[in-house]
Amino acid sequence: MSEEEIKQLENLILYHKRKYYDGEPEISDVEYDSIEDKLRGINPNNPVLFIVGTSSGGSISHDPPMLSCKKAKTVEEIISWAKNRPLMTGYKIDGLSLKLVYQDTKLIQAATRGSGIKGDDVTLNILKIQAIPKTVPFEKRVEIRGELYMRISEFNRINDVLADDEKYSNPRNLAAGTAKQKDARMMDERTLNFMAFEILGWNDNATIDEKASVLKSWQFETSDILKLSTPDFEEISTVFNKIESERDSLDFEIDGLVFKYNLAADREAVGATDHHSRWQIALKFESKGKSTKLNAITWQVGRTSVLTPVAELEPVEVSGAVISRASMHNADFLINLGAKPGDFVYVERSGEVIPKIISVTAKNSTGEVILPDQCPSCGAKTVKSGVNLLCTGDSCRGKDIQQISSWIRKTVIDGIGSQSLEKLYDSGLVKHYSDLYALTEDQLVKLLGKNGSKILTSINGTRDLPFRTFLAGLGIEKLGTTMGKKLAQSFSSLDELKEASMDKLMQLEGISDITAKFIHDSIRQTERYDNLFKFGLKIIYPKNKPASMTPKKGQKDLASYLGIVTQKQIKIYVTGSVEGSSKQELRDLIEDKGIEWGSGVSKSLDYLVLAENAGQAKQKQAESLGVKTISWKEFKENFID
């Protein structure tokens, strides 16, 4: 049986386990046992077979409790707390605290920190994370604690293809939400990482640096990075300032350093309170955010009818950028925040990119937050649905413009900014994205000036679209770039996808019943795309054959250099720039060749491709993970041309 067939069995077991735990079993116990028996017969040590789950809504107790970390404000506090003891220091990761339990070498259970006494069972989802080892070379029960996090590059990859009203606020929240998804298959669409900071049950008398070493030998990423044998003010200050200066070059978010007593005897001597361990303490970096006045709250309607509150701010510089607007995510966020015009709010930039409002710093207004009962774009009534406020209008200018804008972004049509798009819409020339392909040069030049000719050239350049890009641009909820790619690899044509049943869609990794229903129902609404074909657009279907790790032209020397195993799909990441290509265009080129594009530097890469101006940080990261590197020129000559 192939690896792909084994993976399908694993996914089937995970799916039915979740359904059983949620009290919604779809098959009998006998049928379920037969699936497990089939996998056991092929792969008896498969970790999926050893999961210890809980009932619906179940929680897992922590023994000992997962305590908080005490915080210091100054280096002097660290010196006073250390009392000349040898220390270990490491990253304070901005992630989701998680524990992993291994028994007889196998991962059997995973849980969030929760209250510290009990946490949520997330075993089924954690088994899908490639960066977490499923086995360890240790027979006895052992518990590993750490932070589940999402790399900034992965966070940006997900947000890059979303409309403003759909973007996620920060990597931590997206990582936490992903880990708690009910459908474990959703994990296939997002890459999560785990950084270990503690191991229990291995050798509790070991030093922290010894524990870090054994965790690394077990293939875990660790947060503890430096031993301080005789810590003093100068040494701690130097280390703290150095890491803070390197913070922006890291591909994950940290907000400080954690210092720990390195020796077990020292840790045992001080113990813990009910709230925190006395043998570790955190020193946080100075916040990158600032407080500013909230001048007004406006509302924007997105392509899926969701109204997003937007904070109109007194301009303030945060992390080198002047911020005057920030999304407030959804109606419930606004209500819970309690911010009103006139108040002062604290603003940060998540991943140094997306502005976000953290809290209200000073109240300077009266009254309550009132949600609009009419859509600001079309005047239709609004309704509350979950955390969101929705426009109920059938024809809404704001929603239509966002749908057209989404198509423009997905297909990479250049030259049509928000003002130009509004002109095209209000003139009646473009009411749907298909109308873009009916435009003439005279119409564009007359309305938008001399740039109209270039815009038409760009539009015409998208008349032949890869199947995955076409699907992602249709504006179907739950069908973005990643899902478009998955569907394009699984169905040979649009007609075949239209005929696919719900059950067939749900067999694909990452497609839940909810997602399947959106795709199943919406792809049959041919009015979404009939006019695209009428105006000459063509779909380019992939050959559905992944690129082999065997280099072209029989160049065995390159295969030897890369240490490549033949007949395995390539997974790469390109760092730096390639002249004449945007990052998205580069990704499209590579994926069209059947090569998998990684979300960043990770152990799962076959190698890192170095283009022009490739930074040192990613090269060093690849080196530390044992990932091989190759120049863009060499890669292109052997795998692309």
The larger pLDDT score, comparing residue 591 to residue 153, is at 153
Question: CB-side exposure of 289: number of CA atoms within 13 Å?
Answer: 20
Task: Say yes or no to pLDDT of 604 above 80.
Answer: no
- What's the whole-number mean pLDDT along residues 277-300? 88
Least confident interval from 411-415, 458-462, 600-604, 608-612: 600-604
Task: Say yes or no to pLDDT of 63 above 80.
Answer: yes
Domain spans, the chain: 51-284, 290-391, 397-540, 552-640
Beta bridge partners, 489, equal none
The larger pLDDT score, comparing residue 478 to residue 444, is at 444
Fold entry, domain 51-284 = D-amino Acid Aminotransferase; Chain A, domain 1 (3.30.470)
Taking CB atoms within 8 Å and a gap of at least 24, the contacts of 71-76 are 71/281, 71/282, 71/283, 71/284, 72/281, 72/282, 72/283, 73/283, 74/283, 75/233, 75/236, 75/237, 75/240, 75/283, 76/233
Query: CA nearest 121: which of 180, 189, 49?
Result: 180
Task: Say yes or no to pLDDT of 449 above 70.
Answer: yes
Phi, psi of 59 (to 5 degrees): -120, 160
The pLDDT confidence band at residue 546, using thresholds 50, 70 and 90, is: very low
Q: What is the CA radius of gyration of the chain?
A: 26
Q: Which residue has the tokens 């000036």?
A: 449
Query: CA nearest 243: which of 231, 228, 255, 230?
Result: 255
Question: Would you say domain 552-640 falls under CATH 3.40.50.10190?
Answer: yes
The larger pLDDT score, comparing residue 194 to residue 514, is at 194
Fold entry, domain 290-391 = OB fold (Dihydrolipoamide Acetyltransferase, E2P) (2.40.50)
Cβ-contact 193, 149 below 8 angstroms: yes
pLDDT at 603: 74
Superfamily of domain 397-540: 5' to 3' exonuclease, C-terminal subdomain (1.10.150.20)
**Gap between the Cα atoms of 611 and 634, Å rounded:** 10
- What's the whole-number mean pLDDT along residues 310-339? 85
Cβ-contact 145, 197 below 8 angstroms: yes
**Gap between the Cα atoms of 516 and 521, Å rounded:** 8
Whether omega for the bond prior to residue 65 falls within 30 degrees of 0, making it cis, is: no
**Gap between the Cα atoms of 108 and 350, Å rounded:** 34
For the chain, what percent of residues have pLDDT higher than 70? Answer: 86
Rounded alpha-carbon distances, angstroms, from residue 260 to 34, 90, 213, 453: 49, 9, 15, 63
Pairing relationship of beta strands 571-575 and 538-540 according to DSSP bridges: unpaired
Angle between helices 418-426 and 397-411 (to 10 degrees): 130
Task: Say yes or no to pLDDT of 157 above 90.
Answer: no
- What's the whole-number mean pLDDT along residues 147-155? 90
Q: What is the pTM of this model?
A: 0.54
**Gap between the Cα atoms of 447 and 441, Å rounded:** 10
Task: Say yes or no to pLDDT of 19 above 90.
Answer: no
Task: Say yes or no to pLDDT of 101 above 90.
Answer: yes
Cβ-contact 562, 622 below 8 angstroms: no
pLDDT at 275: 78
The larger pLDDT score, comparing residue 215 to residue 245, is at 215
- What's the whole-number mean pLDDT along residues 516-521? 90
- What's the whole-number mean pLDDT along residues 314-330? 82
What 8-state DSSP symbol labels residue 565?
Answer: P
How many helices, marked H, and strands, marked E, lie in the chain?
A: 24, 25
pLDDT at 559: 37
- What's the whole-number mean pLDDT along residues 525-554? 73
Helices (H), 225-286: 233-246, 264-270
The pLDDT confidence band at residue 171, using thresholds 50, 70 and 90, is: confident
Task: Say yes or no to pLDDT of 139 above 50.
Answer: yes
E strand residue ranges, 23-95: 59-61, 68-72, 87-93
The mean pLDDT value of the chain amounts to 83
- Residue 554 φ/ψ region, left for φ over 0, alpha for ψ in the -120 to 50 degree band, beta for the rest: left
Phi, psi of 71 (to 5 degrees): -115, 140
Task: Say yes or no to pLDDT of 592 above 80.
Answer: no
pLDDT at 555: 39
The pLDDT confidence band at residue 350, using thresholds 50, 70 and 90, is: low
DSSP H/E element including 295: strand 290-301
What 8-state DSSP symbol labels residue 86?
Answer: -
**Gap between the Cα atoms of 334 and 618, Å rounded:** 38
Cβ-contact 67, 275 below 8 angstroms: yes
- Total Cβ atoms within 10 A of residue 73: 9
Task: Say yes or no to pLDDT of 148 above 90.
Answer: yes
* Residue 254 structure tokens: 């940290």
Whether omega for the bond prior to residue 64 falls within 30 degrees of 0, making it cis, is: yes
Cβ-contact 540, 591 below 8 angstroms: no
Query: CA nearest 49: which of 14, 92, 80, 84?
Result: 14
The larger pLDDT score, comparing residue 541 to residue 617, is at 541
The pLDDT confidence band at residue 56, using thresholds 50, 70 and 90, is: very low
pLDDT at 538: 94
Do 397-540 and 552-640 fold alike per CATH? no
Beta bridge partners, 344, equal 293, 362
Three-state DSSP at 525 gives: coil
* Residue 586 structure tokens: 């580069």
pLDDT at 237: 93
pLDDT at 322: 82
- What's the whole-number mean pLDDT along residues 40-54? 74
Three-state DSSP at 524 gives: coil
The pLDDT confidence band at residue 197, using thresholds 50, 70 and 90, is: very high
**Gap between the Cα atoms of 157 and 587, Å rounded:** 11
DSSP H/E element including 540: strand 538-540
The dihedral through the CA atoms of 156, 158, 164, 167 has a sign that is: negative
* Residue 156 structure tokens: 């940006």
Task: Say yes or no to pLDDT of 38 above 80.
Answer: yes
For the chain, what percent of residues have pLDDT higher than 90? Answer: 35
pLDDT at 179: 84
Q: Which of 52-56, 407-411, 610-614 has the highest mean pLDDT?
A: 407-411
The pLDDT confidence band at residue 563, using thresholds 50, 70 and 90, is: very low
**Gap between the Cα atoms of 292 and 255, Å rounded:** 22
The pLDDT confidence band at residue 227, using thresholds 50, 70 and 90, is: very high
Q: Which residue has the tokens 């809980």?
A: 54
- What's the whole-number mean pLDDT along residues 354-374? 82
CA of residue 361 relative to chain centroid, distance: 29
Task: Say yes or no to pLDDT of 368 above 80.
Answer: no
Residue 195 identity? M
The dihedral through the CA atoms of 538, 544, 550, 553 has a sign that is: negative
pLDDT at 332: 86
Helices (H), 500-582: 502-506, 513-522, 530-534, 556-562
**Gap between the Cα atoms of 415 and 428, Å rounded:** 19
Pairing relationship of beta strands 538-540 and 464-466 according to DSSP bridges: parallel
Query: CA nearest 528: which of 476, 467, 486?
Result: 476
Least confident interval from 146-150, 378-382, 559-563: 559-563
Cβ-contact 199, 143 below 8 angstroms: yes
- What's the whole-number mean pLDDT along residues 414-418? 87
